[in-house]
Chains A and B, each alone.
Chain A
Amino acid sequence: MSLLKVQDVVTAYGKIEALKGVSLEVAQGSITCLLGPNGAGKTTLMMSIAGILRPRRGAILFGGEDIAGRAPHAIVARGVALVPENRLVFPSMTVLENLHAGAYQRGDKKTIAEDLEKMFGRFPPLKERAAQQAGTLSGGEQQMLAVARALMSRPKLLLMDEPSLGLAPLVVEEIFRIVAELHKDGTTIFLVEQNAHMALKVAEHFYLMEQGKVSFSGTPGALAEDEVIRRAYLGSSKA
């Protein structure tokens, strides 16, 4: 049962098509990973799903409803949250205010307070720095905050655009531990990742995107078997 179905999506910047007819599916309850070189269109796809970019053609079905071209806040309301590339926390706002911003569409103060406690339990550094401006956090802490902010909207589908970008290896492991935990709690996760070694440990299905098109789709096993992909993404030695 797929929660997200992207069908033949074309997104362009002016005359240049960054997505040239992308189709893929994310199964309910899965961790699905999108690999690909820089400039392949991975971020463009994430932005198109989240509604920041408007696809020129094609359909994006979320739970059966076409959300392509809807406003970002309407897409959040349906249960899709994107943790953007480079985190994009609100730097001059406190950690607590960042989390409140994530819960913007929710009215019930009681469940928001419960979720805040949950986030502080899951991300202890955020609790320590709750009153601190988000711009003063370290990269890893900002990534935690970006993930927690997205979770505050109680998404059914969590999109993550390169959560390990620019982080130290230990912090990357921490982030992936969190991804695995969220998955265990039932959140469906669609992840863009350059760090294929880490992604192989958690993801159940892989897509490879090159030059605006999906060029591979398969399980971690099939991915590791593929000679070309192994060379490009996992180094030449057999994993």
Chain B
Amino acid sequence: MTPPPADSVAAMIRPAPLRSDSKTNRDLLSVMQGAPLGYWLLLGTALLFMHIAGGIWVYQVYKGLGIAGYAHPVFWGVYIVTFVFWVGIAHAGTLISAILYLFRAKWRNAINRGAEAMTVFAVLTAAQFLGIHVGRMWKAYFILPYPNQRGLWVNFKSPLLWDTFAITTYATISILFLYVGLIPDLAIARDRATGWKKVLYTVLALGWQGSSGQWKAHNRSVLHLSGLATPLVLSVHSVVSWDFAVALVPGWHTTIFAPYFVAGAIFSGFAMVLTLMIPVRRIFGLEAYITDYHFENMSRFILLTSIIVGYAYAAEYFIAWYSGVEPEQTAFWLRAFGPYWISTWIMITCNGILPQLLWFKKLRTNVPFLFVLSVLINIGMWFERYVIIITGLSREYDPAVWGVYIPSWPEMGILAGSFGFFCTFFLIFLKLFPIVAIAEMKEISIHEKAHATEGVH
């Protein structure tokens, strides 16, 4: 018998090697390491768009709001449309994090971090548009009830003020939710990072060590934040919808607006999660964590909310006809066949008709198809807000004051810049923080391991 080669004998007498780090950690932390050229190109493009928009904004401050396309009677234009669009996008994050948490839908663990980050950046993007829209952004604090020499207070009966409270609360709670969820993952990163990143994570992880008292308080906090965020998310877009519904403009003054806007927000938010997570999964090879099952579940949500949104479109037209109110009927007739007919048909096609393809399982599991569809839904949802706001204002009660609004180049530039702003922050987040909640993925994998072991006994 030939003796075993010397090196294998050496391997036998050496002590067992230290157990390597958990595979989940290695896979998910690897997303944060290194940045290929493509990443820098994307980040550069996003930054470029953001700065161009910044330049346009400075120009607008210098010249005044006249450079926006506002023309009598339309004084709510692309800025407000884009504000509503981004607030809507922000809704999926909380829905996935909070509502699915309460329903104990464990599949959310793979996508909730990305969705929460998206929420925070979308709210921050949206909030800027209020300042851009009012023109003199430095007077934005007027909307807050602060003591002043004039002894005046804000008007709490105005939906715009409800909006202030809703949006600031939503931004605060979304940031807290994201951060609380991040703390255990920051500790994971802290234990493995070096250099300046170690300092960053050490500070942000707050000395987390996963002791029983910490997990107990953490669990309870996440549960309570979910319970609080669930009614909040439903209230925020309801309040945004009341900005319109409380006004007496034909096409706006309807009670259906709150549920219609909330469904639309969830619809567009899920589409945006798909738009972001499909490339992220592909580029960073996260197929083992974010599976087709996750995408299929999200497309089911998209299908459901698309049906609600489609029903709302139909109900609006039906009620306009059935009510017998002439301004209402005219407004809706002109939506579909008036000067803005292209926007209306884009909205109906992208939001009501195309998502019906998701009834087919083949298409629900076809990732390239989902990506294209999600982009189309984003476009459709932007046009939905455009249709509601612009057609409503341009065709009010008195035909003598009807007018046509055409978006100007500064407005479109700032709209493009908002995507740059959003993408810049999302791309930076991607490299600094775990985009998939590592501790929550382990919760699932360790449970599975425990069940498998118990099965053997």
Answer yes or no: are A and B bound together in one complex.
Answer: no
